[in-house]
Amino acid sequence: MRKTSKITTAVFAAIAVTTGLGLAGATPALADHHKETSQPNIVQAAMGTGVHNTLVTAVKAADLVDTLSGPGPFTVFAPTDDAFGKLPAGTVQTLIEPENKETLTTILTYHVVAGEVDASALTHAIRDAGGAYEFETVAGLTLTARQDGHGTITITDNANRTVKVTQADVDVSNGVIHVTDGVFLPG
């Protein structure tokens, strides 16, 4: 069965998101319950990949585990350990220090969008916006999505850094994860 839902943020209010739930003949309520009980949440999924250890450490240091384990829905652009490794030496260690919690929280919430935005919805938004779609994150900052010549979604942050979505649509109980090869920086 397919479920159509409206994205809760104003940025994506006009986009209908279609999420495949794999439950032929199930009611939407049953499908949602199945999704909630059969899949990990965002934090559990990140903990289980083996390539998001730095992200998990940062989420814990920023006290965002409960939020990102909550009902959501959220869309998370999740940098891999290699993505964090591209930052200047010492950056991650400095950010996870308690005195830098506010900066770390801003950076992490810059990777989160309220609502569930799958790659198809994002691709349509890019096309409808003429090739560059700007959207707001939970941090209150914007990102710009585009597609390159190969159809890969790229995201440009306020520091004018462009990262690729290397794996889209990792479905979790409280939203969707898009894996990225870089870290978004506020500028």
Are 24 and 123 in contact by the 8 Å Cβ rule? The answer is no
Helix (H, G, I), strand (E, B) or coil at 23: coil
Distances (CA, A) of 104 to 62, 67, 109, 156: 6, 15, 9, 19
What is the C-alpha separation between 158 and 129, in angstroms, rounded? 19
What is the C-alpha separation between 15 and 8, in angstroms, rounded? 10
Residue 169 domain-assigned?
yes
Residue 67 domain-assigned?
yes
Which residues are CB-contacts of 73 (< 8 A; sequence separation ≥ 6)?
8, 114, 115, 116, 174, 175, 176
pLDDT at 138: 96
pLDDT at 140: 96
Residue 185 domain-assigned?
no
Residue 34 domain-assigned?
no
- Provide the domain count of the chain: 1
Full domain range(s) for residue 133: 41-180
CATH code for position 72: 2.30.180.10
Residue 7 domain-assigned?
no
pLDDT at 9: 29
What is the C-alpha separation between 181 and 162, in angstroms, rounded? 9
**pLDDT in 10s for each residue of the chain, 187 residues:** 322 222 222 223 222 222 222 222 223 333 344 344 578 999 999 999 999 999 999 999 999 999 999 998 999 999 999 999 999 999 999 999 999 999 999 999 999 999 999 999 999 999 999 999 999 999 999 999 999 989 999 999 999 999 999 999 999 999 999 999 999 999 8
- Quote the pTM value: 0.80
